[in-house]
Structure 1
Amino acid sequence: MRIAVSGSIATDHLMTFPGRFTDQLVADQLHTVSLSFLVDGLEVRRGGVGANICYGMGQLGTAPVLVGAAGEDFEEYRAWLERNGVDTGSVRISEVLHTARFICTTDVEHNQIGSFYTGAMSEARLIELKAVADRVGGLDLVVIGADDPEGMLRHTEECRTRGIPFAADFSQQIARMEGDEIRTLLDGAAYLFSNEYEKGLIETKTGWSDAEILGRVGHRVTTLGPRGARIEAEGAETIEVGCPEEHAKADPTGVGDAFRAGFLSGLVWGVTLERAAQVGCMLATLVIETVGTQEYELSRINFIERFTKRYGDEAAAEVQDHLPRVV
């Protein structure tokens, strides 16, 4: 199974605030907020939804194809991704714009305030998926992650036109999208990814109920934070998967991307949806223990030990033969 992941490619600038955002908000002044936060640290890391997901899949040996746009400053990042098992041959390089930037501050309760500079990401709309498919010998699934909104719409329409199964994953872009755009992006998706908050926002903005959305997608995959994930499909029994025990909570940035990387790798391996979600939760746990979205180390022995402890011997046996021997 060959999966292409379209989505943002960015550099993350991650800062930590040693207090609570909520303590700085005045209830009757929320219409005129003007705040700045003195932060304790700054970490500059590789990131972007598409690149993060592909990095995780590369660690699991599932050879993802990254589809997105970056600037001429991407070459070092490209080398890093290729060294970690990602096909970057379909990344468009802008001649005039820099690679996108994500600037995020996290407080002591792991609440986050972030801003995103689009940069070269705006040229993602110029990428044709047919050229990607022709280059790699066909695609079995295209993940349409948070990216240039026009690009997301065009990729979705091209998938429908060419009969390529697609997964809808709005992530950060859902806040700026209108209901008709969201309806267009999710209708007919093989998979719809979101967290709990985004789930409610999707229903509010589209005007569709949970049941109506389930009738329009193959599977609805909802991440539940520390409670794991839920997988639903019309007429099927709901699957709920918990998370392994965390060793630490270093930084939540990129946890959702890691879950998707694990889940999608499970699809490539051909394991059950329950097992795929368990792999996703295991990878997400590794990310929350690390500062940075692509800084975690995937040790085969550690992965299997922790996976077995949480999900049992039978689950581990089904997964371990798919893990790369070198990690």
Structure 2
Amino acid sequence: MRIAVTGSIATDHLMTFPGRIADQLIPDRLDRVSLSFLADDLEVRRGGVAANISYGLGGLGLGPVLVGAVGSDFAEYEVWLKEHGVDTGAVHVSARRQTARFLCLTDQDANQIAAFYAGAMAEARDIDLSRLDPVPDLVVVAPDDPEAMVRHTERCRALGIAFAADPSQQLARLDRDQTRTLVTGARWLFTNEYESTLLLERTGWSHEDVLVRVGSWVTTLGADGVRIETADGPVLIVPAVAGVRIADPTGVGDAFRAGFLAALAWGQSRLRAAQLGCAMASLALGEVGSQSYEADPALLCAVLAASYGTAAADELAAHLGGVLWPR
């Protein structure tokens, strides 16, 4: 399966705060918030949702096509992605703007406050998916310039290409019509638990209304794992990998998506896809930065076996380079 991933490509500036963000909020003064946090450290890392998902897919041998807009400062980042199995031939390089920036502060409870500067991402709306050759089997429409997200979704419908909707971080910017357009007809809809509620508010639809408009709705639940729902089937809940050291939650959902989509590309079931996604997420959670982990086949199989049993590890091992994992 050839997968194209559209969306943001950015540089992450990650800071940590040794206290709790919630302790700094005064309940009856939330209408006039003015806060400054003294961070303990700063990590500058490669990121962006589309780039993160592509990195994970590349590490699993899928050779994804990255589709997004960057600035002239992208050269070093591009080399990195190519070295990790990502096809960057469809990336648009702006002559006027720099690559997007993501700034994030994480507290001791893994709560986050973040801001995103679009930069060159604003030109993603000029990218035409019909120019991709060969035509992908699946397009992931991840957070991006809102007009680009709508255009990519409509182009997928016009070309008859299956697509996965992952509006996540852009739900705060999307209006009702845009959100409905992005969701309707998606083979896969990805959200986390908070975003699932926000998506219902944005669309004005009920939970059931969304389910009849998508193939499957995949909701990540943090430490509680993942929930997969369809309009006419039983709910599937897969637990997360337990006992993982939390270094940085940034990009963990992107690593999950990479594992999930890779397993689907290999013809695996939704159950196995969710299990591989959770295993990938556990590797990302233990590292600082969205692209600091490695999709090591032996380690993944060991995590799968410990968390989901030997059958899961055996079935997925054949696609992970036929690795022999320690029993």
**TM-score, normalised on structure 2?**
0.97
User: 1:297, 1:305 → 2: CA distance?
Assistant: 14
The answer to whether the Cα contact below 8 Å between 1:14 and 1:105 also exists between their aligned partners in 2 is: yes
Q: What corresponds to 2:102 in structure 1?
A: 102
Aligned partner letter, 2:275: Q
Instruction: Name whichever of 239-248 and 311-320 sits farther off.
Output: 239-248
User: 2:131, 2:243 → 1: CA distance?
Assistant: 42
User: 1:324, 1:104 → 2: CA distance?
Assistant: 35
Aligned partner letter, 1:187: T
User: 1:13, 1:213 → 2: CA distance?
Assistant: 35
Q: What corresponds to 2:183 in structure 1?
A: 186
Q: Give how far 1:127 is off.
A: 0.6
The answer to whether the Cα contact below 8 Å between 1:246 and 1:285 also exists between their aligned partners in 2 is: no
**Aligned positions of 1:58-69 closer than 5 A:** 58-69=58-69
Aligned partner letter, 2:193: E
| Structure 1 runs, 4 residues or longer, greater than 4 Å off | none
Structure 1: gaps (5+ residues): none
User: 2:128, 2:82 → 1: CA distance?
Assistant: 21
User: 2:31, 2:160 → 1: CA distance?
Assistant: 46
Percent sequence identity over aligned pairs = 57
Q: Give how far 1:171 is off.
A: 1.3
Q: What corresponds to 2:91 in structure 1?
A: 91
The answer to whether the Cα contact below 8 Å between 2:171 and 2:202 also exists between their aligned partners in 1 is: no
Aligned partner letter, 2:93: I
Aligned partner letter, 1:250: A
Q: State which of 290, 294, 309 in structure 2 corresponds to 1:293.
A: 290
Aligned partner letter, 1:100: A
Q: Give how far 1:269 is off.
A: 0.8
Q: Can you list the C-alpha shifts for 1:191-240, whole angstroms capped at 9, x where unaligned?
A: 11000111011111211111111000011010010111111111112111
Aligned partner letter, 1:16: T
Q: What corresponds to 2:250 in structure 1?
A: 253
Q: Can you list the C-alpha shifts for 1:67-119, whole angstroms capped at 9, x where unaligned?
A: 00000110110000000000100000000100000000000111000000000
Does 2:196 align with 1:207?
no
User: 1:85, 1:216 → 2: CA distance?
Assistant: 33
Q: What corresponds to 1:118 in structure 2?
A: 118
Q: How many residues align?
A: 324
Aligned partner letter, 1:121: M
The answer to whether the Cα contact below 8 Å between 2:229 and 2:236 also exists between their aligned partners in 1 is: yes
**Aligned positions of 1:161-310 closer than 5 A:** 161-310=158-307
User: 1:209, 1:87 → 2: CA distance?
Assistant: 38
| 3-state SS of 1:4 partner | strand
Q: Give how far 1:313 is off.
A: 1.1
Does 2:145 align with 1:153?
no
RMSD across aligned positions (CA):
1.2
Q: What corresponds to 2:23 in structure 1?
A: 23
Aligned partner letter, 2:272: R
Structure 2: gaps (5+ residues): none
The answer to whether the Cα contact below 8 Å between 1:304 and 1:320 also exists between their aligned partners in 2 is: yes
User: 2:177, 2:244 → 1: CA distance?
Assistant: 42
Q: Give how far 1:177 is off.
A: 1.2
| 3-state SS of 2:171 partner | helix
Q: Give how far 1:254 is off.
A: 0.3
The answer to whether the Cα contact below 8 Å between 1:246 and 1:289 also exists between their aligned partners in 2 is: no
Aligned partner letter, 2:72: E
| 3-state SS of 2:90 partner | strand
**TM-score, normalised on structure 1?**
0.97
The answer to whether the Cα contact below 8 Å between 1:308 and 1:316 also exists between their aligned partners in 2 is: yes
